[in-house]
Amino acid sequence: MSSNTWTRDALSSSAKLANGRCWRFVEAQHRVSTLKITDTADEQERLESLLEDSKPPIPEECRHLDFLLFTPFRYGPYPYSSRFRRTGLTPGVFYTSELPETAAAEKAFYRLLFFAESPNTRWPQDAGEFTAFAVEFATGRALDLRTPPLNADRPIWTHLTDYEGCQQLADVARQTGIDAIKYECVRRPDPAANIAILHCRAFARNEPVDRQSWRFHFSASGVRAICDFPRVLLEFDRGFFSGDPRIAGMAWDR
């Protein structure tokens, strides 16, 4: 590890301006569940309010945001390690992608990972419905792991299963006041960028600025992701994510 480039001073000197639009997927079920068990809109609102009161408090710096933006910063303990966040009671990370197609590849991979770890779970008969939503961000304190000097450690940032180096970087980045980290998506063969937002202050708008409806179909052949407007069809066959050993060894026929 080139730890000399990960010091607080080094990261501070590497911080740069970053802004734009980025995309994230959520399951399109966030209000359907309460709709099914209530009879009127008023009952549903009251039930949603009761459920909201039972949840962990929203961090102070995030309270002005729409729930889709603040949710990753609200919950703990974190159930499993991800690229820039450790398991347990750790600071939140809002994972996004520069393009909805990149975010779709990330969503397809992690849903497949669930099936890889649950070999007895059958493929769903119906397509899963998801919402892709776009947010705008702007900060003068961002890192880009694809550019010098940090790209010297590209093998660490792009490791498919070992996230320790990225997590160490995120620890120092938070101490340095870094708001966001741009990094290479390893789930697509073509160059594509992800953005990990570390602080709610990096959001330039308080709510999503665009939405798309997607359907994901999982089967023994792979994954198809479909967006009706704009019209997009993505296919991830059995070999698409096979560079990751967790997917390479999964049981497809079930």
Delimit the domains of the chain by residue range.
3-248
What pLDDT does 234 receive? 97
d(CA 34, CA 247): 35
CA dihedral 173→85→97→149, nearest 10 degrees, is: 30
What pLDDT does 121 receive? 96
| DSSP helix/strand/coil, 37 | coil
How many alpha carbons lie under 13 Å from residue 20 in its C-beta half-sphere? 14
8 Å CB contact between 203 and 179: no
What pLDDT does 167 receive? 97
What pLDDT does 192 receive? 87
What pLDDT does 31 receive? 57
What pLDDT does 3 receive? 63
What pLDDT does 83 receive? 98
| DSSP helix/strand/coil, 176 | helix
d(CA 222, CA 240): 8
8 Å CB contact between 240 and 221: no
State whether the Cα torsion 196-14-91-157 is positive or negative. positive
8 Å CB contact between 115 and 218: yes
Instruction: Return the number of other C-beta atoms located less than 10 Å from residue 171's C-beta.
Output: 15
Q: Which residue in this structure is represented by tokens 């966040």?
A: 85
Average pLDDT across each block of 10 residues of the chain; the chain has 254 residues. List them in order: 77 97 87 67 72 80 96 90 96 97 97 96 95 98 97 96 96 97 93 95 98 97 96 97 96 95
